[in-house]
Structure 1
Amino acid sequence: MGVTDAAIEAIRDLIADGRLAPGDRLPPEQELATELGVSRNSLREAVSALSQARVLDVRRGDGTYVTSLAPGLLMSGLSFVMDLMRGQTLLEIFEVRRLLEPAATGLAAHRITSGEVADLRASLDELRAAVDVEEQIALDVEFHAAIARATGNETLCSVLDALSTRGLRARLWRGYTEGSKMAWALDQHEQIINALEVGDPVLARAAATVHLAASESWLHQLVHEEADLTGADPTTLGGRLIGRTGRSRDDDGE
């Protein structure tokens, strides 16, 4: 293990052990470097890395503080990484989402309020009326996020948010609109709302499973379609066709 990695782990241990709590200011640089047995340069690199990970907040002229350590904050960087995934790894991420999101929808059926159900119906009405793809994507993102929030579990919300980034939703939604499957997707959204409204966790989980499984199947088809067009191994793909911005293959010269 490198010196910087050791410093990162040492600071992490200070936080995990409760010696540094959320909102606490780190000791002065020289004092902390001596305590950890590392050089000041190694400590600075460790602090920089933990700052990028949203564990520490470096305030110029004030000091370095432990952040709130809220799940949404700590996991926010994962969304950026998820949008870089390709091929088989991208499909594996979607598989994880298919396992978790129906469970979250079932939990939401226990906890969702009538007001939250009404908000979901209003959101679906807006989605049906939307004609701009970017607006449709934004509304779809919010629809699924609202269901996650209804669970009351902040950590679960953060995990689902990281697994289902706006970029991936954009890829799927553009696929729906290009393939004339939007009505089908919206009908599935309505089935999810109906299950949530009657407070049936089994039905809610089933409706979400159908929706996610269909989307996963479509994503598999898209990756392998790209492989057929390029002659490449599908496990390495997922960039060109999945990353389309709504243009047809004819527009791309294909």
Structure 2
Amino acid sequence: MARKGRSLAENVADDILAMITIDKKFIMGDKLPNENELSANLQVSRTTLREAIRILVAHNVLQIQRGKGTYVKSNQELNGEFGLKELTTFQLDVKDLYEMRLIFEPQSAYYGAKRATDKELERILYYGKLEEELILKKEDRTEVEQAFHKSIAKATHNEFMNRLMPILYQAIDKGVLLSDANEEMVQNTLNDHRMIMEFLSKRDAEGARTAMKLHIIHAMRGFGITEE
């Protein structure tokens, strides 16, 4: 399902941006695959791909080097700083960070359920299931958990929400590090993520918002953080 009011090229541009910022398939300075390969991968025509690339060039994400190809531009905004760089240097404690998550992420899940394209929803479920596999194998899941929550934020199509995510990563990273030693918290994460994915897959916005709120509240209680 494409987001209403957006052209196919705009949705393809979003898919390519997600490959850069979430999937990390391409990093700054990387050359994109040739036109035939990338259009086949995205299942769109070369004409649509060219228009998507023009959109990303206009937004300072890609650059075309004549005779060489299309490259990911060295653009610090792709890191999501958006004028909030100072906040990421603060020594915020876990309570502050989780309160911030409680304010923003349930609503992010709500709009993600309503606005996600089919590919965005597929990406969310992919990372959710991958994280479940890593938890069960007792392997590091920090980057995958980031990708799961970032995929939901991207599906809101709210630019400020996306740019806020680097700050919330601090809470996500600390949460993974501190919760891994607590079996009850790990089990809560498994159950909560399954519930979030179930509501998202059904595009049940209210259910997704409630599930995300419960997920963060469970984590806060696990850390002994009270809601005051």
Residues 22-50 of structure 1: per-residue CA shift (max 9 Å, x gap): xxxxxxxxxxxxxxxxxxxxxxxxxxxxx
Following superposition, the deviation at residue 155 of structure 1 comes to 0.9
Other-structure match for 2:44: none
Of the three residues 67, 88, 92, the one matched with 1:85 is 92
Alpha-carbon contact 2:131-2:141 (below 8 Å) kept: yes
Counterpart in the other structure of 2:143: 138
User: Of residues 136, 155, 158 in structure 1, which corresponds to 2:160?
Assistant: 155
Equivalent residue number for residue 210 of structure 2 = 206
The number of residues matched between the two structures is: 149
1:116-195 equivalences under 5 Å are 116-130=120-134, 131=137, 133=139, 135-162=140-167, 164-165=168-169, 167-180=170-183, 181-195=185-199
- Per the alignment, residue 82 of structure 2 pairs with 74
Q: Which residue of 105, 108, 114 corresponds with 1:110?
A: 114
Runs of 4+ in structure 1 deviating by more than 4 angstroms, as ranges, are 67-71
Kept in 2, the 8 Å contact 1:108–1:147? The answer is: yes
- Alpha-carbon offset, residue 79 of structure 1: 5.4
> In the superposition, relative to structure 1, how do residues 74 and 117 fare at CA in structure 2: closer, same or farther (>3 Å)?
closer
Q: 1:171 to 1:68 in 2, by over 3 A?
A: closer
Separation of aligned partners in 1, 2:119 and 2:132: 20
Q: Structure 1 length normalisation: TM-score?
A: 0.52
Q: Does 1:96 align with 2:100?
A: yes
- Deviation string 1:70-112 (CA, Å, 9 cap, x unpaired) is 8933345145324x123xxx42342122011101110111101
In the aligned structure 2, how far is the partner of 1:78 from the partner of 1:188?
32
Amino acid at match of 1:104: S
Tell which structure's C-alpha radius of gyration is larger: 1
Where 2:157 maps in the other structure, the secondary structure is: coil
Deviations 1:205-226 (A, max 9, x none): 10010001111222335x9xxx
5+ residue gaps, structure 2, are 1-74
